[in-house]
């Protein structure tokens, strides 16, 4: 038996779509000169309405960046007109001056769009502990406002990349005509994630702020929150959802949550596939747990185990390291009833050595680990990457 664990959303997501797929949105990405490289580094996403409802989730790290502080306050009333994002600098651990910089950025956008300053969210990503070059950034904002386009989503996706090697976009359109779109950046350091996962989601469905918030929390809980690339949690992570209502349609909450979850899950898989220096995408599913929290605790413990991650890099189905990681948790299970599967081969069964590990083929990029606790009815999946020479190269040589 080969357990089915890969996420199989019923909804087919398009990777050519983005934040400008839903009606009522314009966007732009350009090079403002924040990055020394001259690459695009400033993005703007604008909601032209008729509604300007919004919801957002941010890093739970207590050390959070100035733009997170700004945007958390700006989103509190459930209304946003725009999101301005920059790469090339995280504006984190920059004290009071950093918060002033975020406010000035929002103010410049507000001036350009003729909206309230607290209707503009700000996101930043890049090196921690450095001030942003505000002159370049503010001039870039003026240019961005001028160049906004209903086809600008892909350029916005490109402008928020740091160590990403590809831009991340996704959308889903309902048969009724309303849609959900998104862009994301983050190459490793997800957890929710250091050096920043930034996501902007848009919809033209008519969904009120409270329902938006509920749907966003449910969608991120089972998508971005379960990508645990390296267990490190960022100071800047932000996921912001804007609703224009421009389709004139109001889907049922479950319909909307399913669409949002599908787009978020697809973006999360794109982040995973582009994680810094990784050679394998690993899904870890814990089945038959007493509770979903137990399943999640065991899955995360395995996902964060460096020895396990090194073994996968070495194409070694090392179930001993899987068990040792499970054994450090408080989840309900009896060690002698555990099963462990690697890519469909049951290498450990009911507390004893199972099929020969040589039968497992880990040469492909996808690795599927299943741990069956045989103790209940709940399950959870966490996604991670292996630990590789390139991960170390990237993180020893690139400051964040």
Pick out the residues of the known binding site for substrate.
162, 185, 196, 276, 395, 400
Closest contact distance (angstroms) between CB of 254 and a second copy is 33
Report the SS3 class of residue 132: coil
Measured CA to CA, the distance from residue 362 to residue 87 in angstroms comes to 35
Q: Is 293 in the site for a second copy (CB under 8 A)?
A: no
- Nearest distance in Å: CB 277, a second copy: 10
Q: How far is the CB of 9 from a second copy (least distance, A)?
A: 30
Q: Choose which of 313, 341, 342, 383 interacts with a second copy (CB under 8 A).
A: 313
CB of residue 284 to a second copy, shortest distance in Å:
16
Cβ at position 389, least distance to a second copy in Å: 5
Binds a second copy (CB under 8 A): choice among 314, 356, 364, 365: 314
Q: Is 238 in the site for a second copy (CB under 8 A)?
A: no
* Structure-token match 């890093």, residue found: 59
Q: Which of these ranges, 44-52, 149-157, 224-232, 372-380, lies near a second copy under the rule CB under 8 A?
A: 224-232
397 binds a second copy (CB under 8 A): yes
Residue selected from 20, 257, 305, 385 as contacting a second copy according to rule CB under 8 A: 305
Residues of this chain, 335-394, that bind a second copy according to CB under 8 A: 335-336, 348, 351-353, 387-389, 391-393
Does the footprint of a second copy cover residue 234 (CB under 8 A)? yes
Q: Taking Cα atoms as reference points, which of 283, 191, 276, 272 lies closest to residue 236? A: 191
Q: How far is CA 335 from CA 143, 154, 175, 324, 374, in A?
A: 61, 49, 48, 10, 10
| Residue 380 and residue 292 in contact, taking contact as beta carbons nearer than 8 Å | yes
Question: Residues near 239 by Cβ (< 8 Å), separated by ≥ 6?
Answer: 56, 57, 58, 197, 198, 199, 201, 216, 220, 224, 264
Strands (E), the chain: 25-30, 42-47, 53-58, 82-86, 120-124, 168-173, 179-185, 198-203, 238-243, 281-289, 339-342, 345-349, 352-353, 366-372, 378-385
The interface mask with a second copy, positions 110-149, x = CB under 8 A, is: -----------------xxx--------------------
Contact status, residue 216 vs residue 57, Cβ threshold 8 Å: yes
Catalytic residue flag (residue 111): no
Active-site position among 5, 94, 125, 196: 196
In whole angstroms, the minimum distance from the beta carbon of 266 to a second copy comes to 26
362-372 burial, b for 16+ CB within 10 Å, e for fewer? beeeebbbbbb
Q: For residue 222, state whether it binds a second copy (rule: CB under 8 A).
A: no
Window of 42-50, 135-143, 306-314, 367-375 that interacts with a second copy by CB under 8 A: 306-314
Distance CA 184, CA 220 (A): 13
CA neighbor of 250 nearest in space, from 50, 20, 17: 50
Residue of the chain from 94, 238, 379, 381 that contacts a second copy (CB under 8 A): 94
Q: How far apart are CA 187 and CA 272, in angstroms?
A: 7
Contacts to a second copy from residues 22-81, by CB under 8 A? 60-64
Contacts of residue 385, defined as CB under 8 A and 6 or more positions apart, other chains included, come to 188, 229, 230, 272, 275, 278, 279, 280, 281, 282, 309, 391
Q: Pick from 2, 4, 151, 399: which binds a second copy (CB under 8 A)?
A: 399
Query: How many residues are there in the chain?
Result: 400
Q: Which two tokens stand for residue 271?
A: 């982040």
Q: Does residue 163 belong to the site contacting a second copy (CB under 8 A)?
A: no
Output 8 or 352, the one with its CB closest to a second copy: 352
Instruction: Pick between residue 38 and residue 335 the one whose CB is nearest to a second copy.
Output: 335
Closer CB to a second copy, residue 176 or residue 328?
328
Is 325 among the residues that bind a second copy (CB under 8 A)? yes
Beta pairing class for 168-173 and 281-289: unpaired
Q: Does 93 bind a second copy (CB under 8 A)?
A: yes
CB 365 within 8 A of CB 275: no
Q: Which of 366, 369, 337, 334 is nearest to 350 (CA)?
A: 337
The size of the interface with a second copy (CB under 8 A), counted in residues, is 59
* Closest CB to a second copy among residues 229, 379: 229
Residues forming the site for a second copy (CB under 8 A) = 60-64, 90, 92-95, 127-129, 189, 194-195, 230-235, 304-307, 310-311, 313-314, 316, 318-321, 323-329, 335-336, 348, 351-353, 387-389, 391-393, 395-397, 399-400
Q: Active-site residues: which are they?
A: 196
């Amino acid at each position: 038996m080969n357990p089915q664990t890969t996420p199989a959303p019923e909804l087919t997501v398009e990777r050519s779509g983005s934040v400008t797929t839903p009606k009522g949105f314009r966007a732009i990405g350009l090079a403002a000169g924040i990055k020394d490289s001259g690459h695009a580094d400033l993005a703007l996403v604008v909601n032209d309405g008729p509604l300007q409802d919004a919801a957002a989730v941010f890093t739970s790290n207590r050390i959070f960046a100035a733009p997170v502080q700004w945007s958390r306050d700006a989103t509190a009333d459930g209304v946003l007109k725009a999101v301005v994002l920059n790469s090339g600098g995280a504006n984190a651990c920059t004290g009071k001056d950093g918060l002033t910089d975020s406010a000035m950025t929002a103010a410049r956008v507000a001036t350009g769009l003729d909206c309230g300053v607290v209707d503009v969210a700000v996101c930043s990503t890049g090196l921690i502990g450095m001030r942003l070059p505000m002159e370049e950034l503010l001039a870039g904002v003026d240019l961005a406002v001028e160049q906004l386009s209903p086809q600008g989503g892909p350029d916005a996706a490109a402008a928020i990349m740091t160590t990403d090697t590809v831009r991340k976009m996704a959308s889903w359109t309902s048969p009724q005509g309303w849609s959900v779109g998104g862009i994301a950046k983050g190459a490793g350091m997800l957890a929710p994630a250091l050096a920043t996962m930034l996501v902007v989601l848009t919809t033209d469905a008519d969904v009120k702020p409270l329902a938006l918030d509920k749907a966003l929390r449910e969608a991120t809980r089972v998508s971005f929150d379960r990508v645990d690339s390296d267990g490190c949690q960022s100071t800047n992570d932000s996921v912001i959802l804007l609703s224009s209502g421009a389709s004139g349609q109001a889907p049922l909450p479950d319909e909307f949550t399913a669409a949002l979850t599908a787009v978020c899950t697809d973006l999360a898989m794109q982040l995973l596939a582009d994680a810094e220096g990784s050679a394998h995408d690993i899904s870890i599913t814990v089945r038959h747990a007493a509770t979903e929290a137990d399943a999640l605790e065991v899955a995360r413990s395995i996902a964060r185990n460096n020895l396990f991650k090194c073994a996968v890099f070495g194409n070694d189905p090392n179930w001993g390291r899987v068990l040792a990681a499970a054994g450090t948790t408080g989840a309900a299970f009896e060690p002698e009833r555990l099963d462990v599967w690697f890519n469909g081969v049951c290498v450990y069964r009911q507390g004893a050595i199972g099929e020969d590990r040589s039968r497992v083929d880990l040469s492909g990029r996808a690795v599927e680990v299943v741990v069956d606790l045989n103790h209940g009815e709940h399950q959870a999946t966490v996604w991670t990457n292996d630990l590789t020479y390139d991960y170390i190269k990237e993180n020893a040589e690139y400051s964040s």
